[in-house]
Amino acid sequence: MHIFREIGPMKAYLKRERSNLSTVGLVPTMGALHAGHMSLLHASKKENAITVCSIYVNPTQFNNLADLEKYPRTLDKDIQMLVATECDAVFCPDNSMMYPAVSQLKFDFGALDKILEGEFRPGHYSGVALVVSKLFNLVQPNRAYFGQKDFQQFRVISRLVEELKFDLSLVCAPIVREVDGLAMSSRNMRLNAAERKRAVILYQSLKQTRDRLLQGESFSQLRKTVATQCNLNNVKLEYLALADRENLTQLDNITDPSRAILLIAAQVGDVRLIDNLFLTENSN
């Protein structure tokens, strides 16, 4: 596997590959890789001649300095996992390469980046759009892979690709879960044993709300129930939202279940977790 810490050699490598008409798949990550990332890599390897994984903890998407500092960094282990997956290249730049000058550019996606995560993490999606734009222009992939767990992020990036007409396809891969249902996340490793047990409440809340919504119960009532349950379990619910799958506009109730998604965010200890569930997808 090629390990690129600098932009120039990576671009030269990709230029050579592209001149052989190889298609390139990009899996952008912040490292601390887990089975969720591996599923993105497998998807990319199936569909592209060359798969590039980027590992970069992007400071501009952190609205909270403590969160940035505590974000897990496990580069050696990540590289071992990528070698085992037969990833073709990893790009792990440092801040001076990605941000040679302090960024002064902000993106504003209208309502899409103000709701849900945007409300709790102001500026987060501007930083995401910025670093993803950089990666798209550096790697120039044919396809880029993102996990459904950050579903709002996927929608923001879809909007970015449409608006800026990036010449690539986006792929959204299903959430990979632990045995008890907890969505895989790099942040899970920051949970202690007790928090780890309590964290399953996010997924349980989603499933319970989905099942009862489909039985005709009202969302506002179900949200109250989840809030109470979280409270009892010492989990700080930030939001449980029912939204349109396409534009994430919040819904009061379901009219077309195939267009609806439930999204949740909560703090377990000092770790902030998110999860989501389509209303009409059994695989989750």
Q: Which residues are catalytic?
A: 37
* Dist. CA 10–CA 13, nearest whole Å: 5
Which has the closest alpha carbon to 175: 158, 196, 150, 200? 150
Nearer Cβ to a copy of itself (101/179): 101
Within 10 A of 68 (CB to CB), how many other CB atoms are there? 14
- 30 in contact with a copy of itself (CB under 8 A): no
| Contact region with a copy of itself (CB under 8 A), list: 109-117, 174-182, 187-195, 198-206 | 109-117
Using rule CB under 8 A, residue 109 touches a copy of itself: yes
Of 112 and 264, CB closest to a copy of itself: 112
Phi and psi torsions of 263, nearest 5°? -130, 140
Place of tokens 């590289």: 79
Report how far residue 196's alpha carbon sits from residue 189's, in angstroms, rounded to the nearest whole number. Answer: 9
Site for a copy of itself in 124-183 (CB under 8 A): 130, 133-134, 137-138, 140, 159-160, 162-167
Residue 8 CB, nearest approach to a copy of itself (Å): 12
What is the distance between the alpha carbons of residues 127 and 25, in angstroms, rounded to a whole number?
22
Tokens encoding 282: 């059994």
Touching a copy of itself, residues 44-63 (CB under 8 A): none
Under DSSP, the state recorded for 227 is: H
Question: Under the criterion CB under 8 A, does residue 106 sit at the interface with a copy of itself?
Answer: yes
- Cα separation, 149 vs 40, whole angstroms: 12
Q: Which of 32, 40, 57, 112 binds a copy of itself (CB under 8 A)?
A: 112
Q: Would you count residue 105 as binding a copy of itself (CB under 8 A)?
A: yes
Pick 107 or 203: Cβ nearer a copy of itself: 107
| Cβ–Cβ under 8 Å, residues 182 and 202 | yes
The distance of closest approach from Cβ of residue 153 to a copy of itself in the complex, given in angstroms and rounded to an integer, is: 15
Q: Which residues of this chain interact with a copy of itself, rule CB under 8 A?
A: 11, 100-101, 103-112, 130, 133-134, 137-138, 140, 159-160, 162-167
